[in-house]
Amino acid sequence: MALGAALGVSGCGDDTVEPGEVEAGTAELGGPARGISITDVEVNQGAGVVVATAEDGWLDLEARNARLIHGRDSLVRFQVVLDDPAGWIPRSLTGVLRIEVPGQPTVVRTRDFVVEQDSDPRDLDEQFYFPLYADEALPGTKIHVELRETDASVDVSALGQGRTQVPANGEAATVGFGDVDLEMDIVIVPVHYTYFDPPRVPDITDEDLELLREGMLQQNPVQAVNITVRDEPIIYSQQITDLGTLLPMTRQARIADGAPPHVYYHAMIDVNGSAVNDVAGIAWLTGATQEDGDLRSAATVFHKRIIPADPEDPESEEVIQPPSNTVSTWVHEVGHNQGFRHVECQGATSANNDPSYPYEDGKLGIYGFGIRNFRIFAPSASHDYMSYCGNAWVSDWTWEKAHERVELLTGWGTAAPPSGPDGALTIEPSLASQREPALIGVLSVDGTETWTAMPAFPVVTPASTSALETVEFWADGALVDSAVAEVATLSDDRTRTLTVIIPPKARVSGAQGVAGGFELVRQDAQGQRRAVLLD
Ligand SMILES: [Zn+2]
């Protein structure tokens, strides 16, 4: 559905005129609306950005709560307040948005509306709003809004003259759409879960893919979200008890594909339920470097609720619901891959919360808007999507953090050639050559450990290593070498991963694999020693 159609903006309110010409569609209107004033003007691409207030007029970019981006559908809206509610004459007024795109004819959009009271920013039906389309959202685009009497014959001479134009001088002002290209590239890795007979494979339809794409698009400052589904699935044959055990496998797929550092890999598994031991998604908290590329891996349970047919009613049919919770989870898990920690909210049990979140109780703090689902999310009734609380949406705080990360990664994506000679994804040779043979262990909350041998980047941040966790390599009763583990806690705040670069003396290739022939012993922070068994 197009933004304009969904917002009830008809073609007749969308006239194009040459600059300086009388604006078609507004010529027959009455004069400036009387007895009423425009307050805030907001441009909303997901997280609302107030561009003008009654007190401060048009706001400079530095004075704004968040950035706007070019090439993205946007909602423009303004709120109104009655100068004197007791003396108000309820009647139709016409809101007018004038859009001046450099090098293009001026566009005028109007919306009529019977005004009975102050507008309610929580309710699109109770205010003046307009679409501004992606191809109109350019760095030089200017807008002007005004409020006119719809019917010139209504006598409103008893009402005073309020603030009915923004900017007040009648000239359009620069919206402030940025000039940065922002995209996300995500590869979905389906899991063939062969523990079940027949094996379960996530049934991701084109509609489901579109929901996943829109979910990510709506809550990230991007022009595009590019999703591909990997042809070759991951095979998982054991009963899965910790979703985190999928992460090394997803990372392995990522390495095998030679994916560039900016690409996200995301496993999707159907476990015939909504979660694995109450965990619906899991991810590494990923840093902002290219060397962290392998950690742009996550896993989400793909689940569509099935409502069975009513056995009493022969007419009824089984209903498969859209994977709404999966969409929310995957946005949240990719958020962890973007480096975001949790946001605390009342009554929820998230750990590793980010103390710098600015709004109380994980609330949104601003108005959210879905450019595809056309929903308004109120500042005090919605929570940031990195919280565990309901009615989740993107706050302006998370929007800004995402902007930083997406801008950085998009820069890598465009700087490096995206594909090799056969169309396969390639990695910068300088990065690939830094990979060393490694052991990666997933330490589940139930005490089980899953260890896999795979290449990894050498530990680059000393702060992330723990001298307390080591793995020793023994042969014939003698200690050959030991290595310090890089420790990470996954996004469920309980599963840990240990990464150990295999010391050169312990690198034996051959039938037994890269660490073959050695006895491996892990010594943990408490000094406990236990054997490490490779998968
Ligand atoms: Zn989380």
Query: What's the fold here for domain 183-311+318-341+395-412?
Result: Collagenase (Catalytic Domain) (3.40.390)
Of 26-30, 153-157, 326-330, 513-517, the least confident: 513-517
What's the 282 CA to ligand 1 centre distance in angstroms? 7
Whether the bond between 358 and the residue before it is cis, its omega within 30 degrees of 0, is: no
What's the 327 CA to ligand 1 centre distance in angstroms? 14
Q: Residue 436 — pLDDT band, cuts 50, 70, 90? A: confident
What's the 469 CA to ligand 1 centre distance in angstroms? 25
What's the 389 CA to ligand 1 centre distance in angstroms? 11
What's the 459 CA to ligand 1 centre distance in angstroms? 24
What's the 215 CA to ligand 1 centre distance in angstroms? 16
CA–CA dist 218, 425 (Å, integer): 27
Q: According to DSSP H, which parts of 91-176 are helical?
A: none
What are the backbone dihedrals phi and psi of residue 433, each rounded to the nearest 5 degrees, phi first?
Answer: -70, -15
Question: How far apart, in Å, are the Cα atoms of 334 and each of 47, 127, 284, 392?
Answer: 18, 34, 9, 15
What's the 351 CA to ligand 1 centre distance in angstroms? 9
What's the 340 CA to ligand 1 centre distance in angstroms? 9
The model's pLDDT over 132-143, given as tens digits with 9 standing for 90+, comes to 999 999 999 999
Mean pLDDT of 211-240: 97
What does the pLDDT read at residue 150? 94
CA–CA dist 325, 504 (Å, integer): 45
Is residue 464 scored above 70 in pLDDT?
A: no
CA–CA dist 415, 33 (Å, integer): 52
What's the 165 CA to ligand 1 centre distance in angstroms? 44
Determine contact, residues 207/304, Cβ cutoff 8 Å: no
Query: What's the fold here for domain 3-174?
Result: Coagulation Factor XIII; Chain A, domain 1 (2.70.50)
* Averaged pLDDT score across all residues of the chain: 89
Q: List the domain boundaries for the chain.
A: 3-174, 183-311+318-341+395-412, 435-532
What's the 325 CA to ligand 1 centre distance in angstroms? 14
The model's pLDDT over 318-336, given as tens digits with 9 standing for 90+, comes to 999 999 999 999 999 999 9
Is residue 9 scored above 60 in pLDDT?
A: no
Determine contact, residues 406/470, Cβ cutoff 8 Å: no
CA–CA dist 249, 296 (Å, integer): 12
* Angle (nearest 5°) at CA 63 between 57 and 68: 95
Q: Residue 367 — pLDDT band, cuts 50, 70, 90? A: very high
Common-topology check for domains 3-174 and 183-311+318-341+395-412: no
Q: Which two tokens stand for residue 420?
A: 């090799």
Of 357-361, 364-368, 508-512, the least confident: 508-512
What's the 332 CA to ligand 1 centre distance in angstroms? 6
Q: Residue 514 — pLDDT band, cuts 50, 70, 90? A: low
